[in-house]
Amino acid sequence: MRIKTHKDLDVYKISFEAAMEIFEISKNFPKEETYSLTDQIRRSSRSVSSNIGEAFRKRRYPKAFVAKLSDSEGEAAETQVWLDFSLRCKYIDNDIYDSLFDKYDHIIAMIVNMIKQPEKWTI
């Protein structure tokens, strides 16, 4: 399959769906977390796919492409930290935590592979 837009990338699809899953789960976080944990985990999870979209559009410039992917990788790792807090605060259970943490591990691995071989993606 020919990749025409960032929406065709598997890593984009997975990261977008993971962010939507976090959005739904975080609706149940306590009200006092609205401007801290809830906003932060939503922001970082959404930033993963948005940075992938930006990277795709910067693929003419390998260094810019890699820089945006690095930002995406960092946001994915940040999301994992917020998942750690969510679990420790008992806002999510172990099953949800394990599932989402594993998804973000997979997303990070996919991003790292793109960073290691930018020539496969850049034009």
CB atoms within 10 A of CB 78: 18
| CB burial readout 21-58, b (16+ within 10 A) else e | ebeebbeebeeebeeebbebbbebbbbbbbbbbbbbeb
pLDDT tens over the chain, length 123 residues: 688 999 999 999 999 999 999 999 999 999 999 989 999 999 999 999 999 999 999 999 999 999 999 999 999 999 999 999 999 999 999 999 999 999 999 999 999 999 999 999 988
pLDDT at residue 123, as a whole number:
82
pTM for this entry = 0.95
pLDDT at residue 1, as a whole number:
66
pLDDT at residue 31, as a whole number:
96
Q: Name the amino acid, one letter, at 80.
A: Q
- Domains within the chain, CATH numbers bracketed: 6-120 (1.20.1440.60)
